[in-house]
């Protein structure tokens, strides 16, 4: 029996973006540790710097960042376009922040981000009183003209934390109230951080309601490890049949839907040392050595809590006994790539058996050899998912653009090699 390999994962991406944004809007000095030093979060820092916030352009995951907030409505008119790189969270959340300020800013990004839908945030923010201009039908470049906004009661057609957060941030900055209702609760980090900083926010089964805020207290926050990154390492341990422990992982229920799916597939996974950090649940994740996994159905209300994990769950399903059906996941088509088309075409390229569905996919698992070249389309989660499948055994898979993993998981390939060496 091999010894349990204990590893950590870099800081949570969603929380790192929010920590920087809330620190920028707070009154006073915030102290944030463990901020993910990945390309997406570096994009948020760059956008905040363009708006007058003093932030480093590079940092390490061990650094403590001390950030002087400019106050609830104190950002400066930028003199350049806001370059969001590959980051949808930077674009959509910061569009809400700009909408609440009396300023005008143009958002730009890379080719993948420029294709992603932005009208989903423009619609509610326009209803609040902001003015949006698009040069194409949807997507970037997008100019936001903010100002005096009004209250909003928004029923969102999609479960999207980025849409919900854009609205809450616009209301926070402009001193308005907002009510947001979603078909299923999306990740609730913005709500938790607002509550931790003293904002009048009420969350019910039906909706999130934020009352007018005058000032935001500064944060003192340790960013936990990213559960989305942890799932890649869990998947590799499962494929290699080795036990693993991942310490200090964020285990917010709106983020760990994949843990329940892994359990249904036959993985024995336990959370130990559970505690709370700044309003976010954190624990160590223990995974026992797994002998084999089975295919499962994934769909319905569980999708928002595992949307980013579907590519790696699909790759794992290619090694499961039986069929896996993923449904109700049409949102995958508007992520960093069309993750339904890209996962299925890459699974087929390496010899796995998979078909697209309009809102998901079907994967028929097998133990045969997988070999071939994977096109990541610059999508970090595609590169990592197939990287794991390649390292999982009986496979010879090459992945183009391996550096794109830096969008969310710097050091991914090194950590993968470390776990692989444990066998």
Q: Which residues bind ligand S3P (CB under 6 A)?
A: 14, 89, 160-162, 165, 186-187, 307-308, 331
Complex with ligand S3P: residue 340 or 352, whichever CB lies closer: 340
421 CB neighbour count, 10 Å cutoff = 8
Q: What is the DSSP string of 197-266?
A: TT--EEE-SSEEEE---S--PPPEEEPPBPHHHHHHHHHHHHHHT--EEEEEEE--TTT-HHHHHHHHHT
Contact 277, 222 (CB under 8 A): yes
Q: What is the DSSP string of 353-389?
A: EEEEETTEEEEE---S-EEEEE--TT-HHHHHHHHHH
Instruction: Provide, rounded to whole angstroms, the least separation between the CB of residue 225 and ligand S3P.
Output: 15
Complex with ligand S3P: residue 8 or 14, whichever CB lies closer: 14
Instruction: Provide, rounded to whole angstroms, the least separation between the CB of residue 88 and ligand S3P.
Output: 6
Cα distance between residue 48 and residue 54, in whole Å? 8
Instruction: Provide, rounded to whole angstroms, the least separation between the CB of residue 37 and ligand S3P.
Output: 17
Instruction: Provide, rounded to whole angstroms, the least separation between the CB of residue 80 and ligand S3P.
Output: 24
Given the residues 40, 222, 226, 308, select the one marked as catalytic: 308
Contacts 24+ apart (CB under 8 A), 151-156: 151/176, 151/177, 151/178, 152/124, 152/127, 152/128, 152/176, 152/178, 152/179, 152/180, 153/178, 153/179, 154/124, 154/127, 154/178, 154/179, 154/180, 154/181, 155/181, 156/124, 156/180, 156/181, 156/182, 156/183
Backbone region of residue 209 per phi and psi (left: phi > 0; alpha: psi in -120 to 50; beta: other values): beta
Complex with ligand S3P: residue 244 or 332, whichever CB lies closer: 332
Instruction: Provide, rounded to whole angstroms, the least separation between the CB of residue 162 and ligand S3P.
Output: 3
Instruction: Provide, rounded to whole angstroms, the least separation between the CB of residue 242 and ligand S3P.
Output: 28
Task: Mark whether 308 is an active-site residue.
Answer: yes
Complex with ligand S3P: residue 308 or 379, whichever CB lies closer: 308
Complex with ligand S3P: residue 19 or 216, whichever CB lies closer: 19
Cα 88 off chain centre by: 9
Contact 227, 262 (CB under 8 A): no
Contact 18, 190 (CB under 8 A): yes
Complex with ligand S3P: residue 280 or 308, whichever CB lies closer: 308
Catalytic residues, by residue number, are: 308
């Amino acid at each position: 029996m091999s010894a349990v390999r204990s590893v950590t994962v870099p800081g949570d991406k969603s929380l790192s973006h929010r920590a920087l944004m809330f620190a920028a809007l707070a009154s006073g000095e915030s102290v944030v540790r463990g901020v993910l030093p990945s390309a997406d979060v570096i994009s948020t820092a760059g956008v905040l710097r363009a708006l007058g916030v003093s932030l480093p352009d590079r940092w390490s995951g061990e650094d403590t960042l001390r950030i002087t907030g400019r106050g609830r409505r104190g950002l400066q008119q930028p003199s350049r376009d806001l370059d969001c790189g590959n980051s949808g969270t930077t674009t959509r959340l910061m569009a809400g922040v700009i909408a609440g300020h009396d300023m005008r800013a143009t958002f730009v990004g890379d080719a993948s981000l420029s294709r992603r839908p932005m009208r989903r945030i423009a619609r509610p923010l326009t209803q609040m009183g902001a003015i949006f201009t698009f040069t194409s039908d949807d997507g970037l470049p997008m100019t936001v003209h903010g100002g005096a906004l009004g209250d909003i009661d928004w029923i969102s057609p999609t479960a999207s934390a980025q849409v919900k957060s854009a609205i809450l941030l616009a209301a926070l900055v402009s001193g308005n109230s907002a009510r947001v209702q979603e078909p299923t609760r999306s990740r609730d980090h913005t709500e938790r951080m607002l509550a931790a900083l003293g904002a009048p926010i009420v969350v019910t089964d039906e909706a999130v309601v934020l009352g007018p805020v005058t000032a935001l207290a500064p944060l003192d926050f340790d960013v936990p490890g990213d559960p989305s990154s942890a799932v890649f390492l869990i998947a590799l341990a499962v494929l290699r049949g080795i036990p693993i422990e991942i310490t200090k992982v964020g285990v917010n229920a709106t983020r760990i839907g994949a843990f329940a799916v892994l359990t249904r597939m036959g993985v024995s996974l336990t959370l130990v040392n559970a505690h709370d950090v700044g309003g976010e649940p954190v624990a160590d994740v223990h995974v026992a050595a797994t002998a084999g996994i089975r295919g499962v159905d994934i769909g319905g209300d569980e999708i928002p809590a595992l949307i980013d994990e579907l590519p790696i769950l699909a790759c794992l399903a290619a090694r499961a006994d039986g069929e896996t059906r993923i449904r109700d996941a049409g949102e995958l088509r508007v992520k960093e790539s069309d993750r339904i088309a890209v996962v299925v075409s890459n699974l087929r390229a390496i010899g796995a058996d998979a078909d697209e569905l309009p809102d998901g996919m079907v994967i028929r698992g097998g133990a045969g050899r997988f070999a071939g070249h994977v096109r990541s389309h610059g999508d970090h989660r595609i590169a990592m998912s197939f990287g794991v499948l390649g390292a999982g055994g009986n496979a010879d898979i090459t992945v183009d653009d391996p550096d794109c993993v830096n969008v969310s998981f710097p050091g991914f390939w090194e950590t993968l090699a470390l776990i692989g060496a444990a066998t």
